[in-house]
Structure 1
Amino acid sequence: MKYRTHIVTSVAAGAGVVTTTDISFTFPYVIGIALGALIPDIDEPNSFIGRRSFGLARLIKTAFGHRGITHSLLACFLFVLLYQKYPSDFTLGIAIGYAFHIVGDFFSKRGVPLFSPLFKKKMKSPLTYETGGSQETVLFYIALFTLIYFLYEHKLYLQLLS
């Protein structure tokens, strides 16, 4: 999934979480989701975040490969621990964005190694899309319209402004 699709699908899903929980749709929460949605791709030097990582992405890719441990449940769990250690809307957003990135890539044709480093086998959904393909474009627009729906139907934009 391209970075913009990761961000929009994750923020839309995060808005959905807000509509069914006590979580507030604050600016730090949304920024955290957007950042969390990008972090797993720190293992790819040519990714949006990788190009801005001052060489860290190259080191991580050399050590673990692309879609390695950064795309696992273990890495996701570490960001949940970050939230537990430093609870805030921002760190909650990072953990949620990270989790939704993994979910998004689980539906890609390449899949993700959910149980890395124990098992390196990549798992994927039976229903998949090709990264950068027309199906991803459709997903992007569905997520964008879903986000707009949540913002106005549930008046989430008021929480952003407060």
Structure 2
Amino acid sequence: MLKEIANLEKGVVLITGDAKKLAKIFLNAWLSKGKVFLVEYLPFEVDYPENVFIGNIDEGVGFDGYLLYSLLSRPKSERTKYYSFIAGQKDKLILIYEPKYFRDSLFGYALKDFIDYLVAYKRETMGMERIDVYKLEEGKVIKKKTYVRRF
């Protein structure tokens, strides 16, 4: 399912758990296809900086994709504004990068109705990393896959 996400042409992907490497891989895959992204904040470097603009989603200029940073940590009133924005961008790529770890607790937020994929990254204490990938439709999980990497 990770390849499926990297090859998306449109959709909303939420990455939680401070998974900078994964977010960078996805964003670079999309930027390599010539897509232009507006980012609020970029917590890592990208291979195609000429295709990335830093700014606010209220700018009114159309982009191929957007990177929203730490959306679930914002006040509820501010999140509602972003939900309206996401709902109006059905033909765009939207990557939501959340440094905090959310997996099952995400389903208590209204955001679950807008996302197509949830990627929850967790570094376990027993010398491994775990990535849970959920494919969602209308807020319900239709497919789930877990990846584990030992180090």
Range class of TM-score, shorter chain: 0.3 to 0.5
Q: Larger RCO: Structure 1 or Structure 2 (Cα < 8 Å, ≥ 6 residues apart)?
A: 1
TM-score (norm 2): 0.34
TM-score (norm 1): 0.32
